[in-house]
């Protein structure tokens, strides 16, 4: 029997295993760098989005002896105090401003949730001629800034005797195309079997909308409610134009007087800003679960 000869070119076991180990090591290193890069990017976005808000809170709590313009900035007040908030509440009729803003926000939220849901349901579940064209034209109006139509809206409000009224401040944004779009996306997912079963039971269109479709779109309703509240609460330009009596001013317009009276003290301006933000944060905390569910549903259905 002849002895077999050894060919080094065919013995690739150890080298192949070593190459595979080195490749795995490089792959793990790349994944580690990728994870670190993502976290650094998220941290950067967090600093940009949350940093100014934290700085406002820090400034509003600083005492008169602290330098708010020091570099590097000091985020933790050395002498924390609530005197700035007390001064703001004593200097402005915040109760009146908060009540006015609450009324405007309530009208806007109810209008967008109710009429936005009705229009969204019609565009999503009802069949009629020109439905898709109408929806496309409505979506196209989203690119039109309010400043373009502001004069026309003012003339309409004047003809309706709504100048210097809180109703006039609320009506132009009582129903928005964005709310209609969000509700339409929420109603698109309504199961046809559920709709057909309701119709077999003799449910009319209004009962189908109110008892079947609307409860299934609670997440979209939460999204519309939060967006509508934020729009109405933070709106400054339109209330500034249509409201003339200081007793009718909303909070955002009333805070302008704070800037005029205490423009040299940024602590008081920061305190007023935080007061204006608190209601929005409370609403978001209360509806955050429904909000994220509604955003996820709209993203999937879109």
- Report which of residues 99 and 90 the model is more confident about: 99
> Residue 296: what pLDDT?
58
> Residue 263: what pLDDT?
61
How far apart are alpha carbons 202 and 207 in whole angstroms?
10
Q: Three-state SS for 201?
A: coil
**Would you say residue 206 has pLDDT above 50?**
yes
Neighbours of 121 (CB within 10 A): 23
Beta strands in 207-262 (DSSP E): none
119 contact partners, CB below 8 Å, separation of at least 6: 175, 180, 183, 184
Neighbours of 277 (CB within 10 A): 15
Chain length of the chain:
302
The phi, psi pair for 172, rounded to 5°, reads -60, -25
**Which helix (H) or strand (E) element contains residue 238?**
helix 237-242
Instruction: Report which of 104, 142, 54, 140 is spatially closest to residue 231, judged by C-alpha positions.
Output: 104
How far apart are alpha carbons 170 and 231 in whole angstroms?
10
Report whether 182 contacts 293 (CB < 8 A).
no
Residues 157-170 have a mean pLDDT of 93
Q: List the domains of the chain with CATH numbers.
A: 14-81 (no CATH), 83-301 (1.10.3720.10)
How far apart are alpha carbons 56 and 112 in whole angstroms?
31
The phi, psi pair for 173, rounded to 5°, reads -120, 20
> Residue 241: what pLDDT?
92
The proportion of the chain whose per-residue pLDDT surpasses 90, expressed as a percent, equals 26
**Would you say residue 12 has pLDDT above 60?**
no
By 3-state DSSP, what share of the chain in percent is helix, strand and coil, each rounded to 5?
Answer: 75, 0, 25
> Residue 188: what pLDDT?
85
Instruction: Report which of 223, 224, 194, 226 is spatially closest to residue 211, judged by C-alpha positions.
Output: 194
Q: For the segment 33-79, what is each residue's pLDDT rounded down to a tens digit? A: 778 888 888 888 888 888 888 888 888 888 887 777 777 777 788 88
The token pair that represents 62 in the structure block: 């600083």
> Residue 200: what pLDDT?
77
The model scores a pTM over 0.75: yes
- Report which of residues 117 and 267 the model is more confident about: 117
The token pair that represents 96 in the structure block: 């009146």
């Amino acid at each position: 029997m002849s002895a077999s000869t050894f060919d080094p070119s065919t013995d690739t076991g150890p080298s192949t295993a070593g190459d595979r180990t080195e490749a795995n090591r490089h792959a793990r290193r790349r994944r580690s760098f990728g994870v670190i890069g993502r976290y650094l990017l998220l941290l950067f976005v967090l600093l940009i989005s949350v940093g100014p808000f934290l700085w406002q809170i820090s400034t509003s709590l600083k005492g008169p002896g602290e330098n708010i313009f020091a570099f590097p900035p000091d985020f933790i007040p050395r002498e924390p105090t609530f005197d700035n908030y007390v001064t703001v509440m004593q200097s402005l009729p915040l109760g009146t401003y908060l009540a006015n803003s609450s009324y405007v926000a309530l009208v806007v939220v109810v209008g967008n949730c109710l009429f936005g849901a009705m229009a969204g349901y019609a565009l999503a579940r009802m069949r009629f001629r020109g439905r898709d064209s109408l929806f496309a034209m409505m979506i196209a109006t989203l690119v039109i800034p309010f400043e373009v139509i502001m004069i026309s809206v003012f003339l309409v409000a004047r003809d309706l005797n709504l100048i210097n009224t809180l109703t006039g401040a609320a009506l132009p944004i009582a129903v928005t195309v964005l709310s209609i779009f969000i509700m339409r996306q929420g109603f698109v997912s309504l199961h046809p079997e559920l709709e057909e079963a309701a119709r077999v039971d003799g449910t009319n269109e209004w009962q189908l909308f109110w008892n079947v479709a609307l409860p299934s779109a609670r997440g979209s309703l939460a999204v519309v409610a939060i967006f509508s509240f934020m729009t109405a609460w933070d709106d400054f330009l339109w209330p500034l134009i249509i409201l003339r009596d200081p007793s009718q001013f909303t909070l955002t317009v009333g805070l302008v007087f704070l800037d005029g009276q205490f423009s040299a003290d940024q602590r008081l301006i920061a305190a007023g800003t935080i007061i204006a933000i608190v209601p929005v944060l409370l609403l978001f905390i209360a509806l955050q679960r429904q909000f994220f569910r509604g955003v996820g549903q709209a993203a999937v259905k879109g």
